[in-house]
Structure 1
Amino acid sequence: MVNQRDPGDVAAEAWSGVHRGPLRAGEWVRLVDSKGRKHNFSLEPGKRFFSNRGHLDHDEMIGREEGFTVTSSAGGEYLVFRPLLSEFVVSMPRGAAVVYPKDAAQIVAMADIFPGAHVVEAGVGSGALTCSLLRAVGPHGRVSSYERREEFADVARRNVGQFFGAEDGAPHPAWRLTIGDLAEELPASGEHCDRIILDMLAPWECLDAAAGALRPGGILCAYVATTTQLSRFVETVRVHGGFTEPAAWESLVRDWHVEGLAVRPGHKMIGHTAFLVTARRMAPGERAPRKSRRPAPGAYGPDYTGPRADVPDGADAQVDESPEE
């Protein structure tokens, strides 16, 4: 851990996970070679970094402003910066699959995570999304994470501690990690929160607990990998009746190759990672207006066996012709 700060550094009480000024012992750096290969490690006096292009002394980097190039003993050139949060989470140790930056950004924006918010998260996985949530709520907010598996929780603790660089090993003041099932632990805690993020195999099993904890107007967000999970969760939210009509989407990211007039899509892209679903909590005793758009033919035919909200007589015949937003 970094145990000393430059006067021009970001204030420790901001808990940003970001530092300014010269690189210091204990900080993590990210090296990128001429072929785009990346290496992340903590700077330690007297140690060396080894690769197929020779070695580099950590002491050559400590004390320098980030954004420089170093040359290894075998002539390899490396660009040196502190890792960004988006870079850290895709290279950190993993116990479970991580929420990729493109999805974490969507969650922070579309679930409207704000400074001072109380956010409940289940499960914590490797701590990737936790880092984004903690940065978004700030030191005056709160993130309550629930994780069933102790081994995943241990990995998450180390990753969150590493990114935020807590001095003297102090935990992030806005984070509380509970080992257990959210469906049981959240109701027992009596907590009320502003946002709930469900990143788990069967998020519909936690819907009653989430509804009981969310404040009116609060946002429920689920992160699911498959179409069957997506369908089951959306229909269960509809059946519950205490939420607005769920919105479901995915985001795809494609890089571009740009050299003079040679401008084309890159050969690789980040395609499907997961679906996101959001819905807002209604006030106690209130229900959102019934969806009046007619379902697609066969949507709820004899082959459909999942949950389905009751539809008033004749509602299926009503077609909403209003334009989409």
Structure 2
Amino acid sequence: MLLSRSRVVPTLATRFTSRTLTTATKPAAATGATEPEEPPRILPHVDPRFQYGDVIIIHDSKGERRLVGPLRKGGFRDNNVGRLNHDSMIGKTPLSIVETQLGAKFSLHWPSLDEYSTRVKRQASIMYPKDATTAVHLLDLFPGAHVLEAGTGNGSMTMYIQRAILGPGSHLDTVDIRNNHSLQAEQNIERFWRGMYRPGITFWRSVGGLQRVIKRLTGEDQGKTHYPGSGPSSAQEQDSTVLNKDGRPMTALELKRKELTEANEVLPPNPHPKGHQYDAISLDLPDTLTVLDDLLPLLKPDRPMCLYMVNMSQVLELVQWMRKNGAGYSVEKVLEVGWKEWSVRSAAVRSKVKGRVHVGGFGDVSPLQQSSGDGTQVAATTAADHIPDDAVGWVCRPLHMPIGHTGFLVQLRRSSAPSSEESNTPIA
């Protein structure tokens, strides 16, 4: 079992000036190049020039965007229009133009969080930007908040949460049962904008899932590595091996998870003091109902929890379970988020101009078109400048592939008053 690495959380000043990003030297799978040792790296908003180790976005003349990197000495990216060498990008600033050996031109850019999270390498389904940004809104996050996330996946939601809370004293605990998913997520976060959002995140990797981590966070687990139950001697213990807390029969996966949990599994120490509570909790789990009772004392009173559920059947099960059990939560909102992206571009009315003229986009000229120099874009721009106003029309229509249903977001709120034990414990 690979363990999350112990890291010192730097101060806010350190986070936003210069921070050393230690990355092991790895061979580049596609190129055979090695990544050189890197000096302390300055965050992109301070020094936007591209360096080895950066992950960037390139735009072609058609507006297509591709993620490239990490940039390595001697590395390259092959395209259908030629090879793009990593070395040609080093030292360049955003909006710079680079060429392949065939003369195709690309403009260089830092990726936005939306672009990065939807294009980065992943081993699990992602939380799309439309859902992630809405979830951050429902969680009512603020700089310096403490948040618990279960279901790390590829780290996309983790980065959206971290962007909202990053500040003095902030902390994010993120849990996943899949070791490879969690490791990939940590790597993805370290590579975005030179690791800007990495400080203050603890990655919990446990085959026992969130329930196992909850025991460590609440102090019930004081470093034990073996748990009774591997050889049940009583009827009660025998029943517990085949039934979940909510009475459902355990699936084969759940039985295997329990078996592995009861084996020798070691977790990192609890980074929080006794009685610590979270300002918000985000869950993306298939078995949410099994952990709600255990999470209640970890959430501050009157603070929100956001659940991501794939279908309405899960939402109905949640509401029915809450009606039966109470559980100290109230349902605030159930949302399905839909985005419809539109294409708005100018076009010349052929009957009012001589020849065939087309002006793309919003009427602006991209940096790539301005500096291409091959005559095609320049001719189009020149023609556009001389089109009479009465010959310019506008095409406004939805894109042919709108983002469809991805899931439901359920906002819960802790509605129960703090227990006597909570009231007597200083809030950390």
TM-score higher than 0.5: yes
Higher share in strand: 1
Residue number in structure 2 paired with 1:310: none
The structure-2 alpha-carbon separation of the partners of 1:250 and 1:262, relative to structure 1 and needing over 3 Å to count, comes to: same
Residue 166 of structure 1: how far off its partner (Å): 4.2
Letter aligned with residue 266 of structure 1:
L
The structure-2 alpha-carbon separation of the partners of 1:235 and 1:76, relative to structure 1 and needing over 3 Å to count, comes to: farther
Higher relative contact order (CA 8 A, sep 6+): 2
Residue 103 of structure 1: how far off its partner (Å): 1.0
CA distance in 1, matches of 2:295, 2:18: 33
- Pick from 406, 409, 422: which aligns with 1:276? 409
Q: How many residues align structurally?
A: 274
- Pick from 11, 17, 24: which aligns with 1:11? 17
CA distance in 1, matches of 2:204, 2:298: 16
The 10-residue stretch of structure 1 (250-259 or 230-239) with the greater mean CA deviation from structure 2:
230-239
1:57 aligns with 2:85: yes
Residue number in structure 1 paired with 2:53: 26
1:127 aligns with 2:155: yes
Letter aligned with residue 135 of structure 1:
R
Residue number in structure 2 paired with 1:319: none
Residue number in structure 2 paired with 1:47: 75
CA contact (8 A) 1:69 1:79 kept: yes
CA contact (8 A) 2:190 2:198 kept: yes
Task: State the Cα deviation string for residues 14-54 of structure 1 (Å, max 9, x = none).
Answer: x9975442212221111122331523222223333221101
CA distance in 2, matches of 1:164, 1:234: 40
Larger Rg: 2
- Pick from 130, 145, 168: which aligns with 2:174? 145
CA contact (8 A) 2:99 2:106 kept: yes
Letter aligned with residue 335 of structure 2:
W
Query: TM-score when scaled to structure 2?
Result: 0.60
SS of 1:193's equivalent in the other structure is coil
What root-mean-square deviation, in Å, do the aligned CA atoms of Structure 1 and Structure 2 show?
2.5
SS of 2:300's equivalent in the other structure is strand
SS of 1:177's equivalent in the other structure is strand
CA distance in 2, matches of 1:239, 1:87: 42
The structure-2 alpha-carbon separation of the partners of 1:253 and 1:18, relative to structure 1 and needing over 3 Å to count, comes to: farther
Letter aligned with residue 12 of structure 1:
S
SS of 1:244's equivalent in the other structure is strand
SS of 2:305's equivalent in the other structure is strand
Identity %, equivalent residues? 29
CA contact (8 A) 1:238 1:245 kept: no
CA contact (8 A) 1:187 1:213 kept: no
The structure-2 alpha-carbon separation of the partners of 1:29 and 1:121, relative to structure 1 and needing over 3 Å to count, comes to: same
Paired residues for 1:208-227 under 5 Å: 208-227=293-312
CA distance in 1, matches of 2:182, 2:344: 42
CA distance in 1, matches of 2:136, 2:18: 23
Give the gaps of 5 or more residues in structure 1.
Answer: 1-8, 287-325
CA distance in 1, matches of 2:402, 2:93: 32
- Pick from 196, 201, 204: which aligns with 1:175? 201
CA contact (8 A) 2:148 2:280 kept: yes
CA distance in 2, matches of 1:73, 1:79: 15
